[in-house]
Amino acid sequence: MTLVPVIAIDGPTASGKGTVASLVAEQLGFHYLDSGALYRLVALASEKEGIDVKNGPELGVLAEKLSISFEKGQILLNGADVTEAIRSEAIGLRASTLATHPEVRRALVGLQHAFRKAPGLVADGRDMASVIFPDAIVKVFLTATAEARAERRYKQLIAKGISAKLEDLLRDLQERDARDSSRGTAPLLIAEGAQVLETSDLSVDQAVKTVLDWYRSKAA
């Protein structure tokens, strides 16, 4: 049986991997998995349930029970549109913390595998190439300097009318990088066979073209 092709794009927070991955998927007509959104959904649901972010077992049980769907650009949690609610900085920080629990990561593995459908999948996250889809046809580690990433996040927030301080964003990114890279379960790392794409000085279009070129050369 021929496996459905996967392009796995990993990278640190605010590296632009979500934007690049969704555009690559659009160009190829592939499905798209934003794995980070799954952890943000657990973060939002656990906050509403009043579950302590340090309680791995209880968070794992909650993650297994969630009804999650991605429909026409909307992210639905138990039938409610939470597309904007999960994008707050507070939910992002909570997601980064609870993602260190192996119980949560195990609960979401099956859900992530279910996104692998014909004609193909582009998946972005922290451990797509290293853990979830180690047989991906193309593995990308997309990164940028912390300063460049903080500036991108700052501009995104300001454009949405959300007040932000660049120095606070930079500190938060550096703390999340350290937490993501040092956690015991599925740490952020460059997977074996992954190609590194440094985007500090690249436009989105240039980054998308690079990934598409890598895929087409492999698929050929």
- Of residues 15 and 186, the one with the higher pLDDT is 15
pLDDT category of residue 44 using cuts at 50, 70 and 90: very high
Domain boundaries, the chain: 1-30+119-220, 35-117
Structure token digits, residue 213? 């070129």
Q: Answer yes or no: CATH 3.40.50.720 is held by domain 35-117.
A: no
67-94 pLDDT per residue, tens: 888 877 789 998 899 999 998 889 988 9
- Closest alpha carbon to 105 in 29, 169, 50, 184: 184
Q: What share of the chain is helix, strand, coil (3-state, %, to 5)?
A: 50, 15, 35
Task: Check if the beta carbon of residue 7 is closer than 8 Å to that of residue 30.
Answer: yes
Burial class (CB in 10 A: 0-12, 13-18, 19+), 14: buried
Rounded Cα distance between 103 and 33, Å, is 20
Rounded Cα distance between 168 and 172, Å, is 6
pLDDT at 182: 82
pLDDT category of residue 188 using cuts at 50, 70 and 90: confident
The pLDDT of residue 1 is above 60: no
The pLDDT of residue 2 is above 70: no
CATH architecture of 1-30+119-220: 3-Layer(aba) Sandwich (3.40)
Mean pLDDT score, 96-115: 91
